[in-house]
Amino acid sequence: MDKIDAALLELLEEDARRTPKQVGVLLGLSEAEAKARIEGLEATGIIRGYTTLVDREQMDEETISALIEVKVQPERNRGFDAIAEQLYRFDEVKDCYLMSGAYDLMLIVEGKNIRSVSRFVSERLSILDNVQSCATHFILKRYKTDGVIFEKQPEDRRMVVSP
């Protein structure tokens, strides 16, 4: 990967809707060159997918998210990977991270309501053999995700002054 690929990734992280033509203009490449670079980054797995950030508070749909810290007993010869794979395969688990500190794994879990997340923790997560303990924190409000601010910014009502 070179500097152009790094700049291309930065542009797509800012706005994944940018077309190869737009990326090409911003990087001084032809549309075909930009498209080929994007396809190459997808083929090697550096680009894993494209997502849309949704502000669920503005929708009628009720969902709840929780951050769950999980302490596990790693498996011999596989470490944390085997238990992490078991956990991230649950549909409720949106994110799974290996962490340093008091807990080993951190999960971001989504459910229809507090009860559904609680059932997931008590009936599916905590009963697994390698899970020693977990701490669940319900997310009450999202302010910023992936660099995107979810709080409505106050409109600047100052008059424009020009020299």
Q: pLDDT digits over 79-119, tens only?
A: 999 999 999 999 999 999 999 999 999 999 999 999 999 99
For residue 17 the two structure tokens come to 């809707």
What pTM value is reported for the model? 0.77
How many Cβ atoms sit within 10 Å of the Cβ of residue 150?
14
As annotated, the residues of the chain forming the CATH 1.10.10 domain(s) are: 3-43
Domain 56-140 has CATH 3.40.50.800: no
Domain 3-43 has CATH 1.20.1050: no
Q: Mean pLDDT across the stretch 107-132? A: 96
Task: Report whether pLDDT(159) > 80.
Answer: no
Cα separation of 131 and 159, whole Å?
59
